[in-house]
Amino acid sequence: MVAYAEREGADAELWGVTGLLHDADYERFPDMDDTEKGHPRSIMAELERRDVPPEMVRAIAAHADFLGVPAETPMERTLVAVDELCGFLVACAYVRPEGIHGLTPKSVSKKLKQPSFAAAVNREDVRGGAEQLCVEFDEHVAFVIAALEARADELELHGRDAA
Ligand SMILES: [Fe+2]
């Protein structure tokens, strides 16, 4: 989110914090059918209570398609575009000795075609993300890989070779 915000000349702190918090209630309230507290309603209510910028709350709503809030602004579309992809790229990095380093869009596409690999990640969401941003899929994947690689220390993505 920070990398795309910087590329767009947008508010990198707002985008970054939105990315960090968008799933903050998921472990405690995973039941999305719970129309009162289910993810992401609890985190939205908590952030509203804390008077965060309303665009942060709206973006969090927009990443949950079942809430019927369409992703429209650049921040909203970017959150949707990077959410599942980041999870998938981290999963790819975990199974490689060299971690995130040297991971290519081509090998990511190969892994996407293996249904058993990181099975919880929705393939349609990953593929649809690039369309949301109107960028080529490989370009989008390469951009997000580079963004994660720049944070490989804090994300612990250096792989087994580093250990
Ligand atoms: Fe979520």
Q: What is the pLDDT of residues 35-69, one digit of tens each?
A: 999 999 999 999 999 999 999 999 999 999 999 99
Structure-block tokens of residue 31: 């039941």
Q: Are 142 and 105 in contact (CB under 8 A)?
A: yes
**pTM of the entire predicted model:** 0.94
d(CA 162, CA 101): 11
CA 40–ligand 1 middle distance (angstroms): 6
CA 62–ligand 1 middle distance (angstroms): 10
CA 106–ligand 1 middle distance (angstroms): 27
CA dihedral 68, 49, 87, 90 (to 10 degrees): 160
CA 42–ligand 1 middle distance (angstroms): 12
CA 80–ligand 1 middle distance (angstroms): 9
DSSP label at residue 121? S
Tens of pLDDT, residue by residue over 61-107, are 999 999 999 999 999 999 999 999 999 999 999 999 999 999 999 99
Checking if the pLDDT of 163 tops 80, the result is: no
Tens of pLDDT, residue by residue over 121-146, are 999 999 998 998 999 999 999 999 99
CA 17–ligand 1 middle distance (angstroms): 14
Q: Which residues surround ligand 1, an ion (CB under 5 A)?
A: 23
The confidence score (pLDDT) of residue 161 equals: 80
Give me the percent of the chain exceeding a pLDDT of 70: 99
